[in-house]
Chains A and B, each alone.
Chain A
């Protein structure tokens, strides 16, 4: 079948993208498959200046999932553009940069830098990281702020598509979706991690130094699927679904509720060639199901 999908100015070979924060800068996974085979590569959240992130311990395993509180450790935009991006197959596979800032003006400045860089195909605005004290989810829980960040990035992004990544840690995700769509988002990705906590009864301490962290993995898939379903119905912009996807069936579930593409996150940790294998497995499953083009299948969920 024809696996291609085009939306929001992005042209993907297939609907499998990697999720920010789970695929490093892409280079880490080169021994395990061909990056060119993926629909798109979304790299680790990048900020203007390098960030050290949170103290250890930063990760802990939970039932069918994990909590992380990395705190957006990254090498900063200049080192990324100089050392990492040139190693990626950006001519054949869209590289989408996830960007994080602590203020609207800083988002604008970072966008300026990325919009003029060769090899960046799109931006994913991170207003949903639960593990940083400033910025992050404070933008993602306030529709007015979320719209302002989106507008600021969109204004400076030029021709680059702007995707905004939503947090599930809100009362009504559709309010946030409408706010960023009105702010000019070309598409929406959802969901980021759910805020959670784990404690050790023997040491009587939290399992993470940050006390709370973001829950990801198969445990959150039903929440993600519900939110993608809601957002698809609330806005006209295309939606990229993520949250606990680990199999071809999972991918098709998100497309069935109306996502144009998906991102693979924690599953990259569980086995480093998952994303590459998934491209073939999704094709095979879609062909078995008699799907010849994604537009015939996308959003065809039959509601009672």
Chain B
């Protein structure tokens, strides 16, 4: 895999589809060789000492127009990112992490929870055989916030909005019905919050399905140095999600504890 780089890139656009909660951020294209599931650390150059850390985001897509990210405003860092303007400079390092192992010829089920949709946008847009992809999407915010209609136009996609405790169970039941087919000759790719991934992990192990989970751990450096994002493997070793992950096989990591 090509080595990551640290660059300063200009913002080309920042758009919020609906209610200033979700943002599509585009930076001038660094022409990276990347794969879905890899991420980049973003830190606007205007942040002097506060907030201190860069923020990790999945690379959502890259094309001739730029490098694209999709994020939700949910704290001090994303609040400030939502105020970026075209022309602003952002320090970016990436592409980081391993990314998903993808076979275009294999039927693949994508399981995304909320912002866990972000790493799959490029995969869905550029997949040469879209009929090999199927998406199950669980979300809390109104569907219009997410680029779901674009996805629906291209691949088979199911979605459930979580408004009560029973809603996500519907999604997991639907996944369980489908997973049996995929466990024979398919791949499962999942990204989302930890409770979501725990459920997917259990389903994957119960049905012996070939499943990759992308973790959203807290990170300071993104390069494997701070050891803030470690995750226990099944063998009890602690490994960095940023460099050994963020994508792990479902049977390789222990997600029972806090991450």
Residues of A with Cβ closer than 8 Å to B?
22-24, 28-29, 31-32, 52-53, 55-59, 61-66, 68, 70, 73, 209, 217-219, 246, 266, 268-273
Whole-angstrom distance between the alpha carbons of A260 and B230 in the complex?
35
Which of B218, B221, B231, B257 sits near A272, CB closer than 8 Å? B221
Interface centre among A62, A269, A271, A273 (most CB of B within 10 A): A269
Give a binary string over B154-186; 1 marks a CB under 8 Å from any A CB, 0 the rest: 000000000000000000000000000000000
Q: A55-B257, A56-B257, A272-B93 are in contact. Are A217 and B226 (CB under 8 A)?
A: no
Which of A65, A66, A70, A217 sits near B227, CB closer than 8 Å? A70
Complex contacts, A23 vs chain B, CB 8 Å = 225
Q: A64-B52, A218-B49 are in contact. Are A269 and B220 (CB under 8 A)?
A: yes
Count of A-B residue pairs with CB < 8 Å? 97
Nearest CB in chain B: distance from A260 CB, A: 25
Which of A31, A53, A268 sits near B225, CB closer than 8 Å? A268
Q: B111 at interface (Cβ–Cβ under 8 A)?
A: no
Q: List 23 A-B contacts (CB under 8 A).
A: A24-B223, A24-B224, A28-B225, A29-B225, A31-B3, A52-B236, A56-B259, A59-B220, A64-B49, A65-B52, A70-B228, A209-B258, A217-B49, A218-B52, A246-B49, A266-B52, A269-B53, A269-B220, A270-B43, A270-B53, A271-B43, A271-B54, A271-B91
- Per DSSP, are chain A's interface residues mostly helix, strand or loop, or mixed? loop
Q: B6 at interface (Cβ–Cβ under 8 A)?
A: yes
Which of B49, B224, B259 sits near A28, CB closer than 8 Å? B224
Nearest CB in chain B: distance from A64 CB, A: 4
Is A31's CB under 8 angstroms from B4's CB?
Answer: yes
**CB-CB nearest in chain A for B228:** A59
Which of A55, A56, A58, A271 sits near B6, CB closer than 8 Å? A271
Nearest CB in chain A: distance from B44 CB, A: 12
Is B220's CB under 8 angstroms from A56's CB?
Answer: no
Q: A64-B50, A66-B220 are in contact. Are A53 and B257 (CB under 8 A)?
A: no
Which of A29, A53, A57 sits near B218, CB closer than 8 Å? A57
Q: B243 at interface (Cβ–Cβ under 8 A)?
A: yes
Complex contacts, B49 vs chain A, CB 8 Å = 64, 217-219, 246
Is B225's CB under 8 angstroms from A22's CB?
Answer: yes
Q: A57-B258, A58-B230, A70-B228 are in contact. Are A272 and B223 (CB under 8 A)?
A: yes
Complex contacts, B243 vs chain A, CB 8 Å = 28
Q: Kindly list 9 other residue pairs between chains A and B, CB separation below 8 angstroms, not including A32-B93, A55-B258.
A: A28-B243, A31-B5, A52-B237, A56-B231, A61-B53, A61-B220, A64-B52, A270-B52, A271-B93
Which residues in chain B, 217-259, are within 8 Å of chain A measured between CB atoms?
218, 220-228, 230-231, 236-238, 243, 257-259
Whole-angstrom distance between the alpha carbons of A168 and B224 in the complex?
27
Complex contacts, A59 vs chain B, CB 8 Å = 218, 220, 226, 228
**CB-CB nearest in chain B for A273:** B6
Whole-angstrom distance between the alpha carbons of A202 and B218 in the complex?
18
Whole-angstrom distance between the alpha carbons of A64 and B231 in the complex?
26
